[in-house]
Structure 1
C-alpha cells in the first residue's frame, strides 16, 4: 500500500509503459483534438493536464473583455480555437496576456498548447472552461502549409459564430470589447442601424421646447415629449472598471436642437448598443420618458456651425433603459414638417488655403481627396494603464493650393469607415481642431486632429449626409470632375513610417511642448521604454549622446550603394528604421544579463532617406521649409567637422557627381568610435528597415490587401490572412536608401574630451508586433548652439 501511494505521488520520471495524459493512445478516435483535450483535463484529479503529444491548432479569434477585480491585469482574453474539425472557446491565462498585447498570439496564427487546466463556473452547476497555461506560437501565419486546418468542407464559420454568441468566460461580463481600443462598437451586442418609421403621428400640442424644459424640469413630475434634430454626435466613452458592476458601461453624448435652442442628450449603458449606430447627425427624433439632470460641466462641447442656435448649458437629458425606460422614435426626413421649425445642421468648411490663417484650437470642417494614408497606431491613454487610443495620419488635397491637409484621425466609433480610409477616396472630417505645435510661430504649418465630436466619412458613406448641400462641398465635387484620375493615382501613397507631428526647430521649443514626464531619457530607461511597448504603440523620446558613425545603405540593402537619382538634401527629419526578430531577442537577453554591469551603452539607428518635396510631393505630407532642411544638414556637417578627423573619408564614385556622393554614398566614423567600438559592453541594434516601415505606392486594384496590411491586426479571422512578405510585392514610394547612425550613450565620460560634440536625438519608437521594434531618428539638436544650450 505504501509503495502504491509513493508511486502515485512521485514527480520523477513517468512510467513509459502507460500512456501519459494527452497522448494519442488515450484519445477517442471519434472526438477531435479539442473535444478530447477538454474531456481529459476535466477528468484529471488536479484539473491540470500536461499534453505529451500536443498538436497545432488555429487561432480563429482573440476576444478581449474587462477582467474581475483584484487582479494585476485590467483585461482578459479568450481564444477561439480550431483543430480542423471542431472549435472551442478557451481562456488565456493572465501570465500569457503579453503574447496578445504584442500581437504574437493573434487570429490566423498556429499555436501548440502544452499545458492547460479546467475551471468550474461558480454560478453554474457542472459547467466550466479550459484555461491555456502554456503554449508555443508558430513563426508563420496561416499560409499554404497550414491550409489543412481549413478544408473546403469544414470551414470554421460555425465555431466563430458560436464564439461570438457566447459571453466572456471569466468574471461574469456581458460583452466583449474591441481588441485594440475601447471606443469602437464591437460584436453582436451592437445593433445595426434601425429603419426610421414610415408613419408617425405627433401631437404638437403635447410637445415642450428645450428652452421651457430648462426652466420647468424641476417642477414637473412627468416631462412632456421632445421633438428635436441631432446636431452633433460624440464618440463612445467606455467607463468600465473591474470593481464596478455595470453590464454595459458605455455612454455617448448628442447635441440636439429645436427652434428654441440646443441641449445635450446622454445615451446610457444598454441603450448604447441598441441605438448608437442608428442615431446620426441630422436625424429627427421624438424623445419620451427621459430624465433631466444638471449638466456635467467638465466635458468638451462641439463648436456650433450656426451661431444663431442658442446653447442651453445648465441641464442635460438622460436616456436610460430603466427608471424610466426611455422611448426613442426616429422620423424619416420626408415626414419632417416645416412648421416644426427644426434647425438645419450647418458646417464651417475651410479650404487648405484658409487653414493657414486659422488660430490654434480653432474648430472647422474639411473635405478633400485622400493622397496618403498612414498605418494605424496606438497611443497609451495613461502610462500605468492598458487603455489605448487608436489613430492614423492622413493627407488630402483640395482645389485651393498644392499644399495638402495633414490630419491626425483618432478612432471616432466608426470602425467600418476608419479601417477603410484609403487613397483616392473623398474624405469629410467634421469638428476638427487646428493644432499649431508652436502657436507663437505662424510660419509653421498647422495640422488638424479630431475632437470628441468629430465624424469622418469616405466614399460610399456620403449619401444623405447634411453636408452635401454645403457650397464648399459642392465646389469640391465640381473640382474633382476636372482632375485626371491617372495623374492623381501617381501621387498616392499608403503606410510606412511618418515623422508626425513635426518636432520644433529648437530644443527649448520641444521642451515647452512636451509636458509628459521627464524630457531626456537615459539609455537604460530607453531599454525599459522599448520593453514595455505594446503592439503598434508609438512613443517619442529624447536621448543625449554622441553621434559616432554614419553609414549609407542603398535601397537594395548594400552599404555604399549610390543612388542614380538626382541628388537631394539629407532629410534627417523624415527617416525610418526597425529591428529584426533575432536581434530583438538577443538584445533583450543581453540586457537582462548585463544591466547591472554596463556603464557604456551604444545605440545603432537607421534612417530611411526620402525624396525631396519638389520631386515627390506625395511623400511629404507637409512641405517643409528649405531652411529646415539646410539646418539639419548643417547639424550633420558640424558633427563631422567639429570632431576629430574621420576614420573613413568620403569616397567618390565613378559616374556620380561629388554632391550626389556626399549625400548618397558614404561611411563616416569619428575617432571616438574607433577607440571604443571594440570595448562596448552593450550594443542595441535597431538598424534594419522593416517591410512595414516603407511607404508603398497605392495600387487601387489591390487596395484590400494594402488596407489589411496597414490596419491593426483583426481580432477575428475572416479569410486567409495575407502573409507580411506579400507587401514586398508593392513598389516602395521612393527608391532611395537609408542611413544607419551609431549613437554613443554615457556621454559624461567623453564630454570633456577634445572634439566631442554632444547632441540630443529625438527618436520615434514603434512596436510593429511580435518582437519587431522600429526606431527612427526624427531630429537632431546640437547642444552647442545658443538656442539649445539653455534647455540642456
Structure 2
C-alpha cells in the first residue's frame, strides 16, 4: 500500500499492514477509536500555499444546493470542533478503511458538519485539528443523519445548519483538501475564531445537567484504565476505554471529577499523570441525586496535557491565563502529598437507597442471581469493569494484612507472614518469647559476633498509616542472634504459618511452636456464623477470587516512578515493552482489607469478596462519599464504605481508628441478616479477577418502585 507522509512524499507501508488478504490496516488493541499503525499520517506543519478564493461559496448557500447536479464551489472554513474516530467495520464489509470522523466547521455565515470518510481518515484525521483553516474542493452534500450527537456551540453565537452535511470521499469524486497556514489567513476572509466555555469548579454546581463545558485543572489523581462494552454493540470486541481523573483549579476545595473516555488521542490519554495541566473540551455535566457532580466525555471531547498545549487556540483565553497565575502560587512538595495514581475507582458512589422496579426487576444497579455470578465473572474480558448487586447473607469475615508476604503467593499449603506483617496480638506472643529467651541468657556472657545488634523491622499497627520514622527505619532495637547468625525473631517468623482451608470444614489456623495461644490470637481476626460450617458443606459452588491485588490500590505519585506507575495503570501496550519495576511502592492508606464470604439467597453459591475501607481523606475514593458519623461496627463500615473518622494526611492528624479485631467483635449482628451487596468486578489479566464490595444494604434500605 502507498500513502503520503504529510509532505506529499509517497511512502511504502507493506511492512505495517496485516498479512491476511483483504485487510489493509490494524485495529487498536483495546478499542476501535484509536489510530493504530504508520498508515495514520501524523500532524505536520502545513506548507505555504497560494490560493484563489475569488470563486468560493458560503455555508449558508449550501442548503439550497442539496440535490443539484452541478459541483458546488470550493469552501474556506475553520474547524471549531473535532469528534473521535468511529469504526463501522463488520465481517463481510468490503471497505478497506471503514472509518468516519465528524468535524464542525464555520465561516462568516454559520456552522455545518463536515464528514471524513474511509481512506481519507488515515491520511487527514490527525492533521485536521481545532483551529485549522481548510480550503475544500470536490466535496458532496447529503442530508444530515438526525440521531447523532452534536457539540454545544451556543458560545459561538452563530447560526447552525443541521439539515445538510459536507461529505469528503476518497473517490467519486475524490475530495481535495488544503490546509492553510495560520500566517496565510487574512482577516478579510471573516473566519470566526475558536471560542471556548471554560467553567471553574466553583461554577459547576450551578450548571444544568447534561450541559457542555470546557475545563482546565491541575491533575491530582489518575485511575487505572478500564473498559466497558459499547452501548448497543452486538459485534465482538467493541469496547470503550476510560479512566477517572481528579483535577483542581483553585476556585474550590473540591476537585473536578472527570470520566475521560478515549478520544482518539492515545498518546495523551495514556500519558495523563499527576502534577500536569489538563484541558478537556466539550465535557458533559452529570449529577445524580445526593451526589457530587462529575463531568464525562462526549464524542467531541478533546484532551490536552502538559507538552501538548503549544499552539492550541485556548492558550489566549482569559480563564486559562488566570489558572496559570494560580498555579504559580503552589508548592510542589505540598501538592505531591495530595496526589495518587492507579487503583480501583468507581463513581458515583452507590445510592443510599437501593431501588428496584417491581415491573421488570430493573434498577440503577443490575441485580443478578447468585447462580449467574460465576458466568458474569468468567465472561469478563481484560480490564472490563462491571458493577452488579446480589442478595444473600454474610457468613464469614477475615481481616487480611496488606501487603501480604510474597511467599503467600507461592506457597500451596500456607502463607508465611513476616513479623512486621503480623497482627498486633500475634507479634506480642513472639516478642514475649524473645524477651524470655534473652532473660535466660547468663548476664556475664559477652556478646559474640553472632549476637550483634540488628535493626528490627518497624511494627505496623493495622488501621494506621506508617510514620516517616517507621518508613525510614530510624528506630533500632536490640534483637539477639544465635551463633549461626539467625535471630530468634527470624526463627519464630519461619515457624509462623497461616494454613489455608483444607476441605469444606477447615478453619484457617496458625501452626506455631507455642501452640494454642497463638492460634487463639489468630481467631481474633476471623468471625464465622455459627451455621457456616454446616452450610459450607452443602453449597454447590464456592467462588474464591484472589482478593486484593497491587492493581487494586492507588499509590502515591513520585516523579522518579512516573514511568512505572503509568505502565501499571495503563492497559498492556500493543507492542512489547520491557516491564518496569520499583521498590518504593506506597499504597494510599491501606494496611489491610476484609475478606467477606457471602452466601447467595439460594444457599447454593458462595463467594469471597474483598472490602477495602476508606480510611483517609487522601484516598481518592473518599471524594463525594457521604461521611455521616457511625459507630464503626462491621455493618456500619460496610454500609458507609469508610472507617470513622477519616484521617487527614496533609495535616498529619492521627485519628483514633479502631483496630480490626475491635470491628470484628461487632460482626455477630450480621448473623441471619439478609443484605443486598454491591460488587465491582474487574478482570486484571491472567487469572486475576478482582471482586470488591462497594456497599451493602440492609433490607430496610431496599425500595421497590
**After TM superposition, is the score higher than 0.5?**
yes
Question: CA-to-partner distance for each residue in 1:465-511, whole Å, 9 max, x for gaps?
Answer: 11111111111000000100111112111011113232211111799
Alpha-carbon separation, structure 2, partners of 1:546 and 1:737: 23
Q: CA deviation at 1:545?
A: 0.7
- Structure 1 position 695 matched with structure 2 position 554: yes
Q: CA deviation at 1:675?
A: 3.9
679, 685, 695: which one aligns with 1:763: 679
Question: CA-to-partner distance for each residue in 1:219-274, whole Å, 9 max, x for gaps?
Answer: 35021110000010000000001111000000100000001000000000000000
Alpha-carbon separation, structure 2, partners of 1:332 and 1:465: 14
| Contact residue 120 and residue 169 of structure 2 kept, 8 A | yes
Q: CA deviation at 1:560?
A: 7.8
Alpha-carbon separation, structure 2, partners of 1:426 and 1:731: 24
- Structure 1 position 418 matched with structure 2 position 269: yes
- Structure 1 position 707 matched with structure 2 position 566: yes
The Cα RMSD (Å) is 3.0
Alpha-carbon separation, structure 2, partners of 1:694 and 1:686: 16
Alpha-carbon separation, structure 1, partners of 2:269 and 2:463: 27
Q: CA deviation at 1:720?
A: 2.2
User: 3-state DSSP class of the match of 1:452?
Assistant: coil
257, 267, 278: which one aligns with 1:427: 278
Q: CA deviation at 1:339?
A: 1.3
162, 168, 181: which one aligns with 1:319: 168
Unaligned stretches of 5+ in structure 2? 1-10, 405-416, 426-461, 466-506, 509-523, 606-669
2:63 corresponds in structure 1 to 214
Q: 1:219 and 1:677, CA in 2 relative to 1: closer, same or farther beyond 3 A?
A: closer
2:594 corresponds in structure 1 to 739
Alpha-carbon separation, structure 2, partners of 1:248 and 1:774: 37
121, 127, 133: which one aligns with 1:278: 127
| Contact residue 687 and residue 740 of structure 1 kept, 8 A | no
Alpha-carbon separation, structure 2, partners of 1:518 and 1:427: 31
Unaligned stretches of 5+ in structure 1? 1-160, 564-608, 613-646, 649-664
83, 88, 91: which one aligns with 1:239: 88
- Structure 1 position 522 matched with structure 2 position 369: yes
User: 3-state DSSP class of the match of 2:531?
Assistant: helix
1:790 corresponds in structure 2 to 704
1:402 corresponds in structure 2 to 253
689, 696, 705: which one aligns with 1:780: 696
Alpha-carbon separation, structure 1, partners of 2:96 and 2:316: 41
1:10-49 matches, within 5 Å, as none
| Contact residue 406 and residue 448 of structure 1 kept, 8 A | yes
Alpha-carbon separation, structure 2, partners of 1:162 and 1:308: 46
2:40 corresponds in structure 1 to 190
User: 3-state DSSP class of the match of 1:780?
Assistant: strand
1:117 corresponds in structure 2 to none
511, 515, 532: which one aligns with 2:379: 532
1:385-396 matches, within 5 Å, as 385-396=236-247
Greater displacement, 545-554 / 369-378: 545-554
2:207 corresponds in structure 1 to 358
Q: CA deviation at 1:277?
A: 0.4
Alpha-carbon separation, structure 1, partners of 2:378 and 2:569: 23
Alpha-carbon separation, structure 2, partners of 1:497 and 1:510: 29
1:548 corresponds in structure 2 to 395
1:561 corresponds in structure 2 to 423
Aligned residues: 523
Question: CA-to-partner distance for each residue in 1:564-610, whole Å, 9 max, x for gaps?
Answer: xxxxxxxxxxxxxxxxxxxxxxxxxxxxxxxxxxxxxxxxxxxxx99
Q: CA deviation at 1:536?
A: 0.6
- Structure 1 position 481 matched with structure 2 position 339: no
Question: CA-to-partner distance for each residue in 1:289-317, whole Å, 9 max, x for gaps?
Answer: 11111111111000015241110011000
2:99 corresponds in structure 1 to 250
Question: CA-to-partner distance for each residue in 1:637-695, whole Å, 9 max, x for gaps?
Answer: xxxxxxxxxx99xxxxxxxxxxxxxxxx8433222324423444432112521111121
Q: CA deviation at 1:217?
A: 3.8
- Structure 1 position 176 matched with structure 2 position 34: no
Alpha-carbon separation, structure 2, partners of 1:395 and 1:555: 26
Alpha-carbon separation, structure 2, partners of 1:771 and 1:386: 19
Question: CA-to-partner distance for each residue in 1:434-467, whole Å, 9 max, x for gaps?
Answer: 111x3xx3x4201111000000000000011111
User: 3-state DSSP class of the match of 1:329?
Assistant: strand
2:453 corresponds in structure 1 to none
Greater displacement, 286-295 / 520-529: 520-529
User: 3-state DSSP class of the match of 2:389?
Assistant: strand
| Contact residue 553 and residue 560 of structure 1 kept, 8 A | no
User: 3-state DSSP class of the match of 2:32?
Assistant: coil
TM-score, scaled relative to structure 1: 0.62
User: 3-state DSSP class of the match of 2:693?
Assistant: strand
Alpha-carbon separation, structure 1, partners of 2:602 and 2:265: 48
Alpha-carbon separation, structure 2, partners of 1:209 and 1:228: 9
User: 3-state DSSP class of the match of 1:541?
Assistant: strand
Question: CA-to-partner distance for each residue in 1:155-195, whole Å, 9 max, x for gaps?
Answer: xxxxxx99971532334211111111100000011011132
Q: 1:170 and 1:461, CA in 2 relative to 1: closer, same or farther beyond 3 A?
A: same
Q: 1:171 and 1:521, CA in 2 relative to 1: closer, same or farther beyond 3 A?
A: farther
Alpha-carbon separation, structure 1, partners of 2:245 and 2:357: 23
User: 3-state DSSP class of the match of 2:377?
Assistant: helix
Alpha-carbon separation, structure 1, partners of 2:671 and 2:687: 38
Alpha-carbon separation, structure 1, partners of 2:361 and 2:18: 40
Question: CA-to-partner distance for each residue in 1:301-346, whole Å, 9 max, x for gaps?
Answer: 0001524111001100000111111111111112211111111111
- Structure 1 position 376 matched with structure 2 position 225: yes
Q: CA deviation at 1:730?
A: 1.6
| Contact residue 357 and residue 363 of structure 2 kept, 8 A | no
Alpha-carbon separation, structure 2, partners of 1:338 and 1:512: 62
Q: 1:465 and 1:688, CA in 2 relative to 1: closer, same or farther beyond 3 A?
A: same
Alpha-carbon separation, structure 2, partners of 1:448 and 1:610: 33
Question: CA-to-partner distance for each residue in 1:537-576, whole Å, 9 max, x for gaps?
Answer: 111111111012222223344798369xxxxxxxxxxxxx
Alpha-carbon separation, structure 1, partners of 2:184 and 2:65: 29
Question: CA-to-partner distance for each residue in 1:194-232, whole Å, 9 max, x for gaps?
Answer: 3213232233x3111000122234335021110000010
User: 3-state DSSP class of the match of 1:528?
Assistant: helix
Q: 1:291 and 1:357, CA in 2 relative to 1: closer, same or farther beyond 3 A?
A: same
Q: CA deviation at 1:525?
A: 0.8
2:473 corresponds in structure 1 to none
TM-score, scaled relative to structure 2: 0.70
Alpha-carbon separation, structure 1, partners of 2:220 and 2:14: 36
User: 3-state DSSP class of the match of 2:136?
Assistant: strand
| Contact residue 503 and residue 510 of structure 1 kept, 8 A | no
Q: CA deviation at 1:517?
A: 11
- Structure 1 position 337 matched with structure 2 position 196: no
Alpha-carbon separation, structure 1, partners of 2:62 and 2:196: 27
2:347 corresponds in structure 1 to 500
| Contact residue 22 and residue 96 of structure 2 kept, 8 A | no
Alpha-carbon separation, structure 2, partners of 1:212 and 1:198: 29
User: 3-state DSSP class of the match of 2:679?
Assistant: strand
